A and B are shown apart, each in its own frame.
Chain A
Amino acid sequence: MSVHMSASRRAGTWLLSTGVLILVGIMLLPVAFMVAMSFKTGAEMAADPLGLPGGIFFGNYENALSKMTYVRSVLNSIGVTLSVAVLVSFIGALAAYPLARRTSRLSRALVLIVALGLSTPNFVTITPIYVIFRQIGLLDTYLGLILAFTALNLPLAVFFYTSFIRSIPAELDEAARLDNCSDFQIFWYIIRPLLGPATATLSLFVMLMVWNDFTYPLLLLTDESKFTVMISVYRFIGNHTISPEDLFPAAVLGSLPLLLLFLFFQRRIVAGVTAGAVK
């Protein structure tokens, strides 16, 4: 009887797994569609949008790469992303240390500002940032873009590091203090080396956010040589009559770096982003 039950239960599980796999497969169709379309000739796209490409046709990519300033914009995005990640993790961890170790009116006020920053949409500060940047000459500069992104991501970093440092035993600090270490030495030699996992997760967030963001570079940059990948994709595809020969290779090229990264580190990325949200 019980053998029979478990056999039917196993069959049920198998059926359910197949059903869920089909559903998940359907959810991935738009990505497959994007990749398949990018390798089709214009005639194939029009005649049979859903079919697999007859052969692998690189013409769309050749055209996109020659007109998109792709390599330059990828380098811009990488440079901006790395700078923001370094700034955000250093400034964030530094600020989080006293917030995690002391409770005073000052640290409570700072925590409140950070909480406000966490939920404030960037649209609220976009008008004044544009005005301020124009006044002090940061418009259309890498530095301006990096500072804007740093400010946007800093609240998350402070919040994240504060809860992480709280989980580090304060006895470590005390022991170092007995050895006459200054606060900064304690932070630099005791706390900072332990922050690796938090920094890795945070950098993931920053990378996703900065690579994919569209509004800040759209509003703050005008010089084509400084464009990030998403602005370069947007400018190339255009907004009036959209040609699929331009759209699909540009979409693949724009997503490729993060999709490749995801392919190799998917476990860590999903776990990190989930942990970041739950914290």
Chain B
Amino acid sequence: MQRFAKYKIYLFVLPAVIVLGAFFIYPILLTAKLSFTDFTGVGVANDVGWKNYERIFTRSRYVDALKVTLFFTLIVVVIQTASGLFFASLLNRLHSIRNLCRAALFLPAMMSFVIVGYVWQFIYSPFNGGLNALLAGIGLESLQNNWIGDPDTALFALAFAHIWMFVGYTTAIFLAGYAGIPQELDEAARIEGTSAWQRFRHIEIPLLAPSFTINIVLSTIGTLKTFELPFIMTRGGPDGATRTLSLHIIDSLFGKYKFGFASALSIVMLILVIVVAYAQNRILRSREEQL
């Protein structure tokens, strides 16, 4: 009876176990199972072995989608982290405008991908879109472009919209990191006559290591599954330049009713996210300890 009472407290986790079991663990297992079949959403699912996976890694369109997804993630993570650090390092010194600017930069993160997608699609549009009109207004007509219609610029245009949305998030996390740096350290270095750049490079950057880890891991996980912006803005075009893995999943699912193949793509995405997030965590955390 005593032993039983000791475990009774685990009844508390029962509702969570039921919900996660039914709508998270079981679906993942079902995805894995379906990924080895040719299930079309109705009728029977025939076992096809590794054929779906073979298709993903031999057809150039899926390999390209993997490359597009990884490249998009790389651009977003690098530029967003750098811009967030840029804003945070300045705002940390400018107490009078810090909170105002932090909130202003954060505002776009309140909006939905759907709305950000539509608004930026219009801004980029070649016919009296905002960006081309702005360039004309300041006498830079030569830079005008069909931003999301040109395969060379489309992915960067999408990445910029994504970064615009989340740079405030990154900035806020870096500012929280700055708040944890003891003021005396900066004062001491200042008295020793170090330049602002030296203090930034040798004191602030190393002490911000945990914020780097959080920002990089969070933005990577968030960006690897990018779906809404290409879905709304380009539908994967022009010429597959913005066709991400998640776009292929939805397209296989509801465009072609290839449930088995979509499942295989989902499993590839899951492995990709786990491997990348785990590797980043390991590398960044060991770097934190070294510093």
Do A and B originate from a single complex? yes
Which of A's residues lie within 8 Å of B, judged by CB? 13, 16-17, 20-21, 23-24, 27-28, 30-31, 33-34, 45-46, 49-50, 91-92, 94-95, 97-99, 101-102, 106, 110, 113, 116-117, 119-132, 147-148, 150-151, 154-155, 158, 183-184, 187, 208, 211-215, 219, 230, 233-234, 237, 239, 242, 244, 247-248, 250-251, 254-255, 258-259, 261-262, 266-267, 269-270, 273-275, 277-278
Known: A127-B262, A132-B30, A147-B19. A266 touches B106 (CB 8 A): yes
Note all chain A residues with C-beta closer than 8 A to B96. 17
Cβ–Cβ contact B227 & A123, under 8 A = yes
Cβ–Cβ contact A273 & B172, under 8 A = yes
Tell me, rounded to whole Å, the shortest Cβ–Cβ distance linking A248 to chain B. Answer: 8
B198 at the A interface (CB under 8 A): no
Cβ–Cβ contact B122 & A215, under 8 A = no
Total inter-chain residue pairs, C-beta < 8 Å: 257
Bound CA span A30–B115, Å: 11
B214 at the A interface (CB under 8 A): yes
Cβ–Cβ contact A31 & B10, under 8 A = no
Note all chain B residues with C-beta closer than 8 A to A92. 16
Cβ–Cβ contact B16 & A34, under 8 A = no
Cβ–Cβ contact B90 & A16, under 8 A = yes
Question: Across the two chains, which residue of chain B brings its CB closest to A187?
Answer: B12
Query: For window 33-47 of chain B, which residues contact chain A by CB distance below 8 Å?
Result: 34, 41
Cβ–Cβ contact B112 & A211, under 8 A = yes
Note all chain B residues with C-beta closer than 8 A to A31. 107-108
Cβ–Cβ contact A150 & B114, under 8 A = no
Which of B58-66, B71-79, B125-133 interfaces with chain A? B125-133
Given contacts A124-B27, A124-B31, 16 further A-B contacts (CB under 8 A): A28-B104, A33-B119, A49-B133, A50-B134, A94-B13, A126-B266, A132-B26, A132-B30, A155-B20, A184-B12, A212-B111, A215-B227, A219-B250, A242-B121, A266-B103, A277-B169
Known: A13-B93, A117-B24, A123-B225. A254 touches B270 (CB 8 A): no
Centre residue among B9, B26, B87, B249 by max chain A CB count within 10 A: B9
Q: What is the interface residue range for chain B against chain A?
A: 35 or more
B105 at the A interface (CB under 8 A): yes
Query: For window 97-143 of chain B, which residues contact chain A by CB distance below 8 Å?
Result: 97, 99, 101-115, 118-123, 128-130, 133-134, 137
Tell me, rounded to whole Å, the shortest Cβ–Cβ distance linking A214 to chain B. Answer: 5
Tell me, rounded to whole Å, the shortest Cβ–Cβ distance linking A183 to chain B. Answer: 5
Please list 23 pairs of residues, one from A and one from B, whose beta carbons are closer than 8 Å in the complex, sorted by A's number.
A23-B87, A91-B16, A94-B12, A97-B9, A113-B24, A116-B274, A121-B270, A123-B225, A127-B262, A131-B41, A147-B19, A151-B23, A151-B24, A183-B8, A233-B114, A234-B232, A254-B114, A254-B115, A266-B106, A274-B176, A277-B218, A278-B173, A278-B214
Cβ–Cβ contact A267 & B246, under 8 A = no
Known: A113-B20, A123-B246, A187-B12. A270 touches B102 (CB 8 A): yes
The secondary structure that dominates the B interface is helix
Known: A99-B13, A259-B107. A30 touches B119 (CB 8 A): yes
Question: Across the two chains, which residue of chain A brings its CB closest to B220?
Answer: A119
Question: Across the two chains, which residue of chain B brings its CB closest to A229?
Answer: B112
Note all chain A residues with C-beta closer than 8 A to B107. 28, 31, 259, 262
